[in-house]
Chains A and B, each alone.
Chain A
Amino acid sequence: AQSVTQLDSQVPVFEEAPVELRCNYSSSVSVYLFWYVQYPNQGLQLLLKYLSGSTLVESINGFEAEFNKSQTSFHLRKPSVHISDTAEYFCAVSRNTGGFKTIFGAGTRLFVKA
């Protein structure tokens, strides 16, 4: 079975500051890793994913995440945040063979202050 731990429930940060949202996972099999973003009263949207290959993956709006197999982590970072990045961010894991169910972390609420 897989599990996901998001180490921070809330992260307040000032606009234009860097941010890191932490995610650790556990799994006995190889996995895909995802970050999803949820704006208020909306569904989740895929932000970025790691399937294989390069351990650093990027999104179109400046976020990046690095897969670290030895530390079983998939932390999300952005060098300079905007007010519009205020949202809930979910780290998620699914098996990469023989299944497609996704397990979500409890979420991290990013609050960007002016």
Chain B
Amino acid sequence: DAMVIQNPRYQVTQFGKPVTLSCSQTLNHNVMYWYQQKSSQAPKLLFHYYDKDFNNEADTPDNFQSRRPNTSFCFLDIRSPGLGDAAMYLCATSREGNEDGYTFGSGTRLTVV
């Protein structure tokens, strides 16, 4: 089945130690998104890629960066994780136009110790 896969499902990192979360898709969607979701809150868009074009949300901290080396893969890099960055990180994809809505991965739950 075509899908969005996030690795790892659970990630524990030390305060200040760089961490990378990965996302891959077999849907061939040209738009990929990273959302941050904290407990009992709405998913918050960090950035998205339309093909190779990177779009950062205005309030996304500089600590968060992303790479999309090809259509299938997208990475979220957190340069110096703080305790406030502990959250579920959701990767999603869509076709341009979004008529089908988003397809989400299962998420990566990040713990910062």
Q: What is the interface of chain A, defined by CB distance below 8 A to chain B?
A: 4, 9, 32, 34, 36, 41-46, 49, 51, 90, 94, 100-102, 104-107, 109
Contacts and interface: CB of A to CB of B under 8 A. Distances in A.
B105 A104 contact: no
Given A100-B94, A104-B42, A41 B99 contact: no
B48 interface: yes
Contact of A106 (B41, B92, B98, B105): B41
A107 B48 CA distance: 22
**Chain B residues touching A, range:** 20 to 34
Contacts of B103: 46
Contact of B40 (A100, A102, A104, A107): A107
Contacts of B92: 43-44
B101 A46 contact: yes
A42 B42 contact: no
B37 to A, nearest CB: 9
B105 A43 contact: yes
Nearest to B105: A43
B42 A41 contact: no
A49 B43 contact: no
B50 to A, nearest CB: 8
Contact of B106 (A32, A42, A101): A42
B43 A90 contact: yes
Given A44-B90, A46-B101, A49-B101, A101 B107 contact: no
Contact of B43 (A9, A44, A109): A44
